[in-house]
Amino acid sequence: MALWNNKGQKIEANTQLAIDKIIRFWEEGKIIAIKGIGGYLLTCDATNPKAIQTLRKRKHRPSKPFACMYPNINKIEQDCYVDSTEQQMLTGEVAPILLLQLRKKSVDIALSDIAPGLNQIGVMLPYTPLYLLLMQAFGKPIVATSGNLSNASIVFEDKKIFSELSGIWDFALTNDREIVTPQDDSVMRFSPFKKQPILIRRSRGVAPNYFWPDIPTEQKTILALGASQKSAFGLLFGGLFYLSQYLGDLTYLESAENLKRTIEHFVNLLNCKPEVILVDKHPDYYSTEYGKHLRDANRTKLVYIQHHFAHFAGVLSEHSLLQKSKRVLGIVWDGAGYGNDRNIWGGEFLVYENKKIKRLSHIAYVPLILGDKMAGEPRLSALSHSGQNPAILPLLKDKFSTKEWKIYQRLLDKTPPLKTSSMGRLFDAVACLLGIMDTQTYEGEAALRLETMAQTYFDRHEDTLDSGYDTQISYLDGISTMPIIEGVVKDLNNGTAKDEIAFKFHYSLVKMVEEIALENTIEKIAFSGGVFQNGLLVDLLMMHLENRFQLYFHQQVSPNDEGIALGQLAYYQNIEE
């Protein structure tokens, strides 16, 4: 073990003295990189606003929440609500980062710097002897975030902390144990009331692992390459399905290299060669491009599988529903996925029956303004969902410069080259109308703030399950969001509290699911997609629907795109085109 300064000089080799110095450095507001089980963590004093602001600036992470490591469970309970289920998860063998609701009293940590605008934080306990020694000596929480630039893969090689992480840390603690494959910390949460477990990031302590999926197995070796933004791949070999850990966002070079390296590691470890490769239909995903490269290099079969069909097939396989005769309604809501009609899907109502999946309905299409730019700017989602309604536009005009407004109005006057049914963009639109934010700095920021606002209302009105906005359901043109948007604007103009409007929006989505299920006389409903990381929405669905319907949520994989690889395999082996 050795402690280094940011000039590349070793300043301490004695373990106890190194620990003593790190404690002093934390107290001085320094940022320390520490080598753990799966890579480096960047750490600082969680009670020091200046240190946290410095870390944000150096890591290029302006507002995305940081996780905190606490010395013990008692310290966590001083800041957060912890029930017996959550305590068992925190202290168990997985020891993930667990999202917990903060107590309403003031907390010791610098909350506004750690989790801006939120009522929850991610916490964990020391999960290695080194972290335990450090935390016992320090006696208060630290920020403990992955050693990377935001969204890239965690840095795990010693030499790269002096290159890729250069300029972020002040001191680094290394050791001579080589890390073969990197792993971030796993992240979990439980829905606030029903305590439904929701896996957000599947990594240390959970993956990679294998299990018998509820699908017919064949002797062929099959590689499922998953999606892009939350990359994870799967490998079927010898009748067992091996699902990798979270590998990062493949738009980053480091994450793409991590994907290739980890696949090679799996293949060498199992001594196998893929005969079939499964990829997403999105033409711009790196995982799809890499699948084409592997096909050409190895003369293997390549199969394209639609993103949301894979989501649905994945949750069906987890609940052994693929071999059942009764119809299942699939609610697949996320930010984006390439659709069979070449538009961007994301608000999907699917049906599984007799080994076939069909698209029953969807959120009505709205123009996709400037591609991926729309995902980063909730104001564009609000403008797109406004339908050029003169009652809505005045609320939006001041969110744009005069030049921008003219450009976007001209774009909306034309037939859009691409349209989207994304539920994620609808969340963004409502968040913008409520004044939460016009632009966001990380994926899902506006939706998370909207959930927080709605949760604040529900905490005070737990018996409120009878308010929402109307929807217009069509099986030809999709489900119009205009009644929701108009209802939000009407409430705003009438002075309704914004947290109540946020709650009514959430509850409207529950009623939408109920109406579709009743109209089609379907008793089983399965949910997938990143939107179902929203704990309040999951709670409301369970509270309102579970007495009349059978509800199925993900168990072993995340509802987000980390579960796509499992779904690709389930689809390939079960679904008839």
Phi, psi of 336 (to 5 degrees): -165, 145
Give the CA distances from residue 321 to residues 177, 181, 311, 390, 544, in Å, rounded to whole numbers and listed in that order.
Answer: 44, 34, 14, 47, 23
Res 461: pLDDT: 81
Euclidean distance between CA atoms 359 and 380, whole angstroms: 27
State the Rg of the chain over Cα: 24
In 307-374, DSSP assigns E strands to 328-338, 344-353, 356-362, 366-367
The residue count for the chain: 577
Res 44: pLDDT: 97
Helix (H) or strand (E) holding 187: strand 187-190
Is the sign of the CA dihedral 476, 481, 487, 493 positive or negative? negative
DSSP string over 405-434: HHHHHHHHHSPPS-EE--HHHHHHHHHHHT
DSSP string over 99-145: EEEBPSS--SS-HHHHSTT-SEEEEE---SHHHHHHHHHH-S-EEEE
Q: Is 217:572 a contact under the CB 8 Å cutoff?
A: no
For tokens 């929405």, name the residue. Answer: 537
Q: Is 165:147 a contact under the CB 8 Å cutoff?
A: yes
DSSP string over 444-505: THHHHHHHHHHHHHHHH-TT--S-----B--TTT-BB-HHHHHHHHHHHHTT--HHHHHHHH
Helix (H) or strand (E) holding 41: strand 40-45
Specify the pTM.
0.93
Euclidean distance between CA atoms 234 and 244, whole angstroms: 6
Is the sign of the CA dihedral 101, 106, 109, 112 positive or negative? positive
Euclidean distance between CA atoms 517 and 524, whole angstroms: 8
Is the sign of the CA dihedral 405, 408, 412, 415 positive or negative? positive
Res 166: pLDDT: 87
**119 is written with which tokens?**
């009522």
Q: Is 107:163 a contact under the CB 8 Å cutoff?
A: no
Euclidean distance between CA atoms 408 and 431, whole angstroms: 20
Phi, psi of 395 (to 5 degrees): -75, -15
User: 182 preceded by cis ω (within 30°)?
Assistant: no
Q: Is 468:511 a contact under the CB 8 Å cutoff?
A: yes
Phi, psi of 300 (to 5 degrees): -105, 170
Which residues fall within 8 angstroms of residue 76, CB to CB, at 6 or more apart?
70, 82, 90, 100, 123, 125
N-term to C-term CA, the chain: 56
DSSP string over 265-310: HHHHHHT---SEEEEES-TT-HHHHHHHHHHHHHT-EEEEE-HHHH
**Count of CB atoms within 10 A of residue 236's CB?**
29
User: How many Å separate Cα 112 from the centre of its chain?
Assistant: 22
Pairing mode of beta strands 328-338, 524-528: parallel
Res 129: pLDDT: 94
User: How many Å separate Cα 84 from the centre of its chain?
Assistant: 25
Helices (H), 210-279: 253-270
* Three-state secondary structure call for residue 86: helix
Return the C-alpha torsion angle 459, 464, 465, 471, nearest 10: -100
Res 360: pLDDT: 96
Q: Is 263:277 a contact under the CB 8 Å cutoff?
A: no
List average pLDDT for each run of 10 residues in the chain, which is 577 residues long.
92 94 97 94 96 94 94 94 94 95 82 91 96 96 89 84 90 92 93 95 89 66 94 91 92 91 93 95 96 94 97 95 92 96 97 94 94 94 94 94 93 90 97 96 94 93 69 72 93 94 95 95 97 97 96 96 95 84
Q: Which domains does the chain have, with CATH numbers?
A: 2-188 (3.90.870.10), 209-308+563-574 (3.30.420.360), 346-350+363-554 (3.30.420.40)
Q: Can you name the residues that pair with 241 across neighbouring β-strands?
A: 211, 236
